[in-house]
Amino acid sequence: EAGVVQSPRYKIIEKKQPVAFWCNPISGHNTLYWYLQNLGQGPELLIRYENEEAVDDSQLPKDRFSAERLKGVDSTLKIQPAELGDSAVYLCASSPLSLAGGNTGELFFGEGSRLTVL
Amino acid sequence: AQSVSQHNHHVILSEAASLELGCNYSYGGTVNLFWYVQYPGQHLQLLLKYFSGDPLVKGIKGFEAEFIKSKFSFNLRKPSVQWSDTAEYFCAVGPRGTGNQFYFGTGTSLTVIP
């Protein structure tokens, strides 16, 4: 079974430039997450989708970050314009269906997209 | 607000030494608990999880963790570490009834010296 696929693995851009990350979750996983991981820190949630609906985007800096999951499968995360402080690893994860509001279990992570903003 | 605390940021052990990594969480309701591991150059993966039942859970590679409800803790243990256990370890909490939410600790970097 294929895992969570992310691209690109690495991206180097200059500040004020746009950047986009793509994620394809595990087939059948309806919940998709974008996390931000700074060096020496744990993953911090940016946005969580249930199918195509963003159910938690409270931590997404909406002035420069946007995300979409149009068909409830793959997703893109965009930053425009990028700032120096955006340098980090952007992790995508997926999880199976949430039943009756319960927490279903483990997250399946992609390998991450490492962004360096110069 | 929910929070997950990992007290040990960096741990260095010799092979065969015993390991215990602390994890405490702050959440008033029922939670599911997880330990994730990230080996060098690899993605985060599940080490073990606790949902209910026996508070002592066993995971892969000889790891185990004990849920102590009164202490809001879920410490990770291994009796004898190996060089291949060198990795970052993250504790995570999934509050029940909130859908698929997960909150992570800041992680512990473990280095095992051969």
Which helix (H) or strand (E) covers residue A75, if one does? strand A75-79
Nearest Cα of chain A lies from the Cα of B43 at a distance, in angstroms, of 5
Per-residue model confidence as pLDDT tens digits over B36-89: 999 998 999 999 999 889 999 999 999 999 999 999 999 999 999 999 999 999
Exposed / middle / buried, residue A11 (Cβ in 10 Å: 0-12, 13-18, 19+): middle
Per-residue model confidence as pLDDT tens digits over A50-92: 889 998 898 999 999 999 998 889 999 999 999 999 999 999 9
Predicted pLDDT of residue B27 = 86
Query: DSSP per residue over B21-66, as a string?
Result: E--EEE-SS-EEEEEEEE-TTS--EEEEEE-SS-SEEE-GGG-EEE
Residue bearing the bigger pLDDT, B10 or A105: B10
Q: CB-based contact (8 Å) between B36 and chain A?
A: yes
Pairwise CA distance, residues A43 & A29, whole Å: 20
Q: Which residue in this structure is represented by tokens 């931000």? A: A36
Exposed / middle / buried, residue A96 (Cβ in 10 Å: 0-12, 13-18, 19+): middle
Contact A55 B99 (CB under 8 A): yes
Contact A109 B101 (CB under 8 A): no
CB A70 within 8 A of CB A61: no
Contact B49 A106 (CB under 8 A): yes
Output the six-digit token pair for B30: 């029922």
| CB-CB neighbours of A116 under 10 Å | 13
Which residue of chain A has the CA closest to B46? A106
Residue bearing the bigger pLDDT, B66 or B29: B66
Helical residues (DSSP H) of chain A, grouped into ranges: none
